[in-house]
Amino acid sequence: MSTAILTGQPVPGSSIEGDLRSLGFEVRIAADPADAESLLAQVPGDRRVAVVDARFVGHPHALRLGLTDPRFPLAAIPGAVTAQPAGRQALTRALARETSTQGTLLVDSLADRITGALDVDVHRPELGSLVAAVPADPQARNEARQAVAAVDDEAVRLKSAVKSRDGFFTTFFISPYSRYIARWCARRGLTPNQVTTASLLTALIAAGCAATGTRGGFVAAGVLLIASFVLDCTDGQLARYSLQYSTLGAWLDATFDRAKEYAYYAGLALGAARGGDDVWALALGAMVLQTCRHIVDFSFNEANHDATANTSPTAALSDKLDSVGWTVWLRRMIVLPIGERWALIAVLTAVTTPRITFYVLLVGCAFAATYTTAGRVLRSLTRKAERTDRAARALADLADSGALVELLSRKVRVPAAPLSAAAAGLLVVTSAALWGATWPTLLAALVYVALSAAAVSRPLKGALDWLVPPFFRAAEYGTVLILAAESEVNGALPAAFGLVAAVAYHHYDTVYRIRGNAGAPPHWLVRAIGGHEGRTLVVVTLAVVLTAAQFKVALTVLAVAVALVVLLESIRFWVSAGAPAVHDEGEPA
């Protein structure tokens, strides 16, 4: 249980004690700073503790935002300051400093004085129209209470549960009612993780309905996919509504989105097969394209996460376009964010065939990928920004290089990293497409390894170096897709789908570890599953030396092995991680 230390003289009619208890705080009263120090020392080190001015007047949700958000070690609003275990030492130092400099008798405004004395960063939530004040006299107190009464605390809380920046479909067709579902869940004690799991189960049932291959199954699949998306929005809104953020929840929310979408692709492919239509290549192509789109987003954002001197005229033009209302929604829609994409898939599933669904999805995602990537290339070429060592390290981790690249990269130095990566990917994919499972393709795979090493031989700080990881993803996934398709044996493409899904999960896991400031996956894991170049070389070698039937079995074994190693390590890490509890705010594409 959390502890709140009230300081100063109690105010008749104040609701502060009741408000703190409703937020889960045990309330203790401090007569003076020395008493506050004593009470603070008595609170167990693994508990959250808050120091609150007894004269505080404000909305309960303002207190909730200031005192219960688990993402920040230290947070403060006017009249209150809180510390999680990680921030306790800083809070103790600040209180001791105030006691020694101001004396043990001065208790007025102690919480605000402690906040000012803190020697580390303090989170200060945006309160908007919510009131949080420490009135100095009865008149000011009366005015503050009138201000509290004039603002609907619950309406503000519901509004803040919805992301400020979202897609058109989500904003106008989901959020107007999903926020009330989130409130319903909160009042019944449901957690965001439970809602996230319900969303996953709903999507898996939708995939199962699609796999039946019947028109009724396709209609049910479309309806359930939309229901899954409603729950997907609800879990984040519930987290923001009740401030139930967690490291595990952030991971579940992020990875389950991928699992749901790709499982649905598989369900559509199975349903089409029941009707005599083989669309596994299209399903795998959709997964490859979508994953490559995401790695473009992640790489670009990491490369510019803390870049300095951003003076891109392209970015300035984008900001100007955002000031025109209709262009904002148009630009958000044409990149096919998750809401628009899932709505498109659901409607097409219900009224057309899996083949048409995949054709439209591939065309739409290809256009969106071209639009967003071209814009980011223009921004990168026209901006004058210095990339940091942190950004270079993140791009190197996203590249997912294995032991072969590590060894060779020490012996070569090539400045044009994107060109080397593009040439490497183009060579191996083109060879697989032209010559299939032959020795020239194996030779191309060996050259791919060498060029990949050249691409990462220097720190990735160039203007377009963020393209290196996407080029590697496209090369690896594309090679697997082409070789499986050309094997022309039943079951090869589903096996390839499983392998790419397992590897893609590893790449998404890497992204979310980096975004949570938890570092990349352990080095042994990357080496154990070969790195992108090792896996590509192994797949090409297996295709060349084995028969088509044996190649299918080998792909299946490889998919299972990679999935087991990656999933076990990922689950171990996220369940026990001490990474910051940052709830995923949704994918950019």
Q: Is 8 helix (H, G, I), strand (E, B) or coil?
A: coil
Residue 519 has pLDDT above 90, yes or no: no
What CA–CA distances, in Å, run from 474 to 147, 232, 293? 56, 28, 10
Distance CA 243, CA 338 (A): 24
Q: Which of 334, 493, 465 minimizes the C-alpha distance to 392?
A: 465
What does the pLDDT average to over 371-399? Answer: 90
Separation CA 441–CA 265 (nearest Å): 29
pLDDT at 132 over 80: yes
pLDDT band of 320, cuts 50, 70, 90: low
- In what helix (H) or strand (E) does residue 4 lie, and over which residues does it extend? strand 2-7
Q: Which pLDDT score is estimated for 576? A: 81
Whether pLDDT at 493 is above 50: yes
Tokens 């993140």, located at residue: 394
- Which of 281-290, 319-328, 332-341 shows the highest mean pLDDT? 281-290
CA–CA gap between residue 10 and residue 229 (Å, rounded)? 48
pLDDT for 187 beyond 60: yes
Checking if the pLDDT of 587 tops 90, the result is: no
* DSSP structure string for 219-288: HHHHHHHHHHHHHHHHHHHHHHHHT---HHHHHHHHHHHHHHHHHHHHHHHHHHHHTT---HHHHHHHHH
10 Å Cβ neighbour count for 214? 15
Residue 506 has pLDDT above 60, yes or no: yes
pLDDT reported for residue 95: 93
Residue 583 confidence (pLDDT): 44
pLDDT band for 105, please (50, 70, 90 cuts).
low
Tell me the average pLDDT of the chain: 91
What is the number of other CB atoms lying within 10 angstroms of the CB of residue 489? 16
Phi, psi of 189 (to 5 degrees): 75, 15
C-beta neighbour count of 139 within 10 angstroms: 9
Say what the pLDDT of residue 586 is. Answer: 44
pLDDT of residue 294: 95
User: Can you tell me which residue has the tokens 């940052």?
Assistant: 582
367's CB contacts (< 8 A; 6+ apart) are 334
Stretch 358-383: mean pLDDT, rounded? 93
Q: How confident is the model at residue 585 (pLDDT cuts 50, 70, 90)?
A: very low
- pLDDT confidence of 98, banded at 50, 70, 90? confident
Q: How far apart are CA 192 and CA 584, in angstroms?
A: 12
DSSP state of 386: B
Q: 336-352: buried (b, 16+ CB within 10 Å) or exposed (e) per residue?
A: bbbbbbbbbbbebbbee
Work out the number of other CB atoms within 10 angstroms of the CB of residue 188: 7
Model pLDDT for residues 385-396, shown as the tens digit of each residue: 778 899 999 999
pLDDT score for 106: 57
Which DSSP string corresponds to 64-125? Answer: HHHH--TT-SEEEETTEEEE-GGGHHHHHHHHHHHHHHH-SS--TTHHHHHHHH-SS--B--
- Model pLDDT, residue 428: 98
pLDDT at 382: 85
The answer to whether residue 18 scores a pLDDT higher than 60 is: yes
Residue 310: predicted pLDDT: 53
Q: How confident is the model at residue 577 (pLDDT cuts 50, 70, 90)?
A: low
What pLDDT is recorded for position 26? 96
> Rounded to an integer, what distance in angstroms lies between the CA atom of residue 2 and that of residue 122?
19
76-80, 183-187, 459-463: the lowest-pLDDT one: 459-463
The pLDDT of 211-235, averaged and rounded, is 97
Q: pLDDT tens digit string along 410-469?
A: 877 666 899 999 999 999 999 999 999 999 999 999 999 999 999 999 999 999 999 999
Percentage of the chain lying above the pLDDT 70 cut: 93
State the Cα–Cα distance between residues 478 and 562, nearest whole angstrom: 18
Percent of the chain with pLDDT over 90: 79
CB contact set of 524 (below 8 Å; sequence gap of 6+):
none
Alpha carbon distance 408, 427 (integer Å): 18
Helix H or strand E encompassing 57: strand 57-58
Q: Are strands 132-133 and 49-53 parallel, antiparallel or unpaired?
A: unpaired
Decide if pLDDT at 314 tops 60.
no
Question: Is-contact 67 96, C-beta < 8 A?
Answer: no
32 pLDDT above the threshold of 90: no
